[in-house]
Amino acid sequence: MKILHVTPDIYEGGVATLIDEMCKYQVAEGNDVTVLCAVNSDNQLSRKEYFENGGIKVIYSPYENLYDPRLILYFKKIFAGFDIVHVHLFPNQLYARIAVMLMPASKRPVVITTEHSTYNNRRKYSLLKILDKWMYKGYDKIVCISKQTERNLREWLDQINLGNRIVTICNGVNLSKFIPINSEEERPKNVVMVARLEHPKDPLTVVRAISKCPSDVNLYFVGSGYMDSSVKELSKELNIEDRVHLLGNRKDVPEILHNSGIGVLSTEWEGFGLVLVEYMATGLPILMSEVDGIQDVVGDRDSLFVNGDDDELAGKITRLIEDKDFYTAKSRFFKDRSSEFSIERMNKTYIDLYRNLLS
């Protein structure tokens, strides 16, 4: 199969990680795989080399603005000749829908999209529901990354008649990358959050929580974004700047997790939370915002905290640090649960889906 993945970029984030793993598997299965990045930016050059070293072609659009309408005609030109076009994220989803509509019927590929979140800002506006209904009707298959993502999408679309075109394929992680900890040994008194420091992530709640934890508890952020400065300012204001560490984008995440004590994800919404599975594969107890989508992944209500409630988060961090038996029980639970979200299972399901659609 000739497969094209369409994404804003391949630089960082959960979707970029997911596409990386999907493409490697699809190449190993003997497919011809290309990634089309809608945004042309200098910071992606190193990632381009990384993908191409794995046998994955990478092309960039000539445009720097993700919302540039000229992408529609560019997509139309690129899509011809592919068997499968797999579209990720908005506005790629909209522009790809229009591009396929403009193509001659004989040249149209099978087009699918993955819905990566339980919520997005378009759902604040009822008028945009009309746009979304039209957009999704143009896809041969709509894949949701969790059951909650599917439930929320169906509710947003008012159960429009899409037949069996909406399915759920849970995200997966390459579990072999992560080094399991020995939870019975003394663990570092630190908390790690791996995420882009941009909305809808909520790193400031974690900073406030750390200020209420014992003074020997440190916080590490892996990832970057425009909220870097807000994290630094709040840490200084709370007089804990020596306990809050911004590591930026890193390639050694498995090693960082192995040397951490607790994994946290604070966010206003989340589709799946790949990083949660990475924490689990390492054996870290995890704490996360109680938002749609996450409960399906973690399967443990004790590990949820009310979004934005730094007091509750601080209490849960402190308990894990001070109660060794509780820590060990949570670590074992999450390590066992991680096996349900292997990348092999996810990739095989996607390949089967592609083949069924083509046949």
What CATH number is associated with residue 123?
Answer: 3.40.50.2000
* Same structural domain, 224 and 180: yes
Structure token pair of residue 88? 């990720």
Query: 164 and 184 share a domain?
Result: no
Say what the pLDDT of residue 69 is.
97
pLDDT of residue 169: 95
Question: For the whole model, what pTM was predicted?
Answer: 0.78
For 120-140, what is each residue's pLDDT tens digit?
A: 999 999 899 999 999 999 999
Q: Are residues 151 and 258 in the same domain?
A: no
- The residue range of the domain holding 317 is 175-340
Number of neighbours of residue 44 by Cβ within 10 angstroms: 19
122 and 213 assigned to the same domain: no
In this prediction, residue 43 carries a pLDDT of: 64
Residues 16 and 164 in one domain: yes
Do 166 and 276 share a structural domain? Answer: no
Sign for the CA dihedral angle at 99, 105, 108, 112 comes to positive
Average predicted confidence (pLDDT) for the chain: 93
Rounded CA separation 132/135 (Å): 5
Residue 297 confidence (pLDDT): 85
66 and 98 in one domain?
yes
pLDDT of residue 219: 98
187 lies in the same domain as 330: yes
CB atoms within 10 A of CB 343: 21
Please indicate, yes or no, whether residues 159 and 180 belong to a single structural domain of this protein: no
Query: Residue 164 corresponds to which tokens in the numbers above?
Result: 């069996």
* Same domain (yes/no): 140, 284: no
Regions of the chain with pLDDT less than 50? none
* 294 and 352 together in one domain: no
Domain total of the chain: 2
